[in-house]
């Protein structure tokens, strides 16, 4: 009597199939992310190249997932930026918008004053563009959204004693002193209660600490900061609250609070010689 040999195969579990699908999906997502580019002038940044730079220079603070949970993070104050949220302090775009590639490019080169984020002067312009491309891979916002047009910065008005006085009145009317203090030392009555978007304590900027600001050092930089706000912090945007001449008056007044600018501003305030 002849018998037929029947071959059987080990059944594949549903969970194993699901795992394979998940791995392929993640792999595809990773490849898609590394295809991210940045555009800064005539430079095109590559996320693939930027990944290696990130591992060398940035991972210690911002972490392998870009969530601000690097091994150095527990000892850094304020905490490193969480790139996955798509919220950035230093932007030329309105509050709530993702930044331009050039905004991230400038931040890498300029650093952020009073934080652990340094100026990355050793990096070439191409390397900075590559880093921007890779940083963008951490948040889906850069794949799903387009940045809004930047906030317009009109020509600066003249620095005069009257402008400075008007700026002081703006400072008081906007209640800037509640956070930054009467003399801009960052010690206003609300300062101890302030938290960032991740509920970490955050200290208001001390204008007397030098001639720089969080996101720059020129008058145009300062104008942009309070017109766009610093997303992820309690610092709001005043673009819909201030007219351009009022904003420039405020810039001129804030300069008088800086130790390095007092001599120059004092010449403006001093009465003319007879």
Per-domain residue ranges for the chain?
37-144, 161-269
Q: What is residue 190's predicted lDDT score, i.e. its pLDDT?
A: 96
CA pair distance 228, 71, nearest whole angstrom? 31
Mean pLDDT along residues 106-132: 94
String of DSSP letters for 57-107: HTHHHH-TTSSS--TTGGG-SSPPP-GGGT--SS-SSPTTSPPPHHHHHHH
Homologous superfamily, domain 37-144: Cytochrome c-like domain (1.10.760.10)
Q: Is the pLDDT of residue 78 over 70?
A: yes
Confidence of residue 153 (pLDDT cuts 50, 70, 90): very high
Quick one: pLDDT at residue 135? Answer: 98
Examine domains 37-144 and 161-269 and report if their fold is the same: yes
Residue 15 has pLDDT above 60, yes or no: no
Give the Cα separation of 131 and 44 in Å (integer).
Answer: 11
Residue 209: pLDDT band by 50, 70, 90 thresholds?
A: confident
Q: So what CATH class is 161-269?
A: mainly alpha
Range from 34-38, 76-80, 243-247 that averages highest in pLDDT: 243-247
């Amino acid at each position: 009597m002849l018998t037929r040999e029947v071959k059987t195969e080990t059944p594949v579990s549903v969970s194993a199939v699901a795992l394979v699908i998940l791995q392929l999906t993640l792999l595809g997502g990773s490849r898609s992310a590394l295809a991210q580019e940045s555009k800064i002038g005539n430079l095109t940044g590559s996320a693939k190249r930027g990944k290696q730079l990130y591992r060398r220079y940035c991972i210690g603070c911002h972490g392998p997932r870009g969530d601000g949970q690097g091994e150095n993070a527990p000892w850094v104050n304020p905490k490193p930026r969480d790139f996955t949220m798509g919220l950035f302090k230093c932007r030329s775009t309105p509050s709530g918008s993702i930044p331009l590639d050039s905004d991230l490019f400038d931040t890498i080169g300029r650093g952020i004053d009073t934080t652990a984020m340094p100026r990355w002067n050793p990096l070439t312009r191409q390397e900075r563009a590559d880093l921007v491309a890779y940083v963008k891979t951490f948040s889906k916002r850069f794949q799903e959204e387009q940045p809004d047009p930047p906030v317009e910065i009109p020509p600066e008005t003249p620095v005069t004693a009257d402008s400075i006085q008007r700026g002081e009145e703006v400072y008081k009317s906007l209640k800037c002193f509640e956070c930054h203090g009467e003399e801009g030392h960052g010690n206003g009555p609300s300062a101890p209660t302030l938290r960032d978007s991740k509920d970490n304590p955050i200290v208001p900027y001390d204008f007397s600490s030098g001639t720089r600001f969080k996101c720059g050092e020129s008058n145009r930089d300062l104008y942009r900061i309070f017109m766009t706000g610093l997303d992820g912090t309690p610092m709001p945007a005043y673009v819909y609250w201030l007219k351009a001449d009022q904003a420039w008056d405020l810039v001129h007044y804030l300069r008088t609070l800086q130790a390095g600018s007092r001599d120059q501003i004092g010449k403006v305030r001093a009465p003319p010689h007879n």
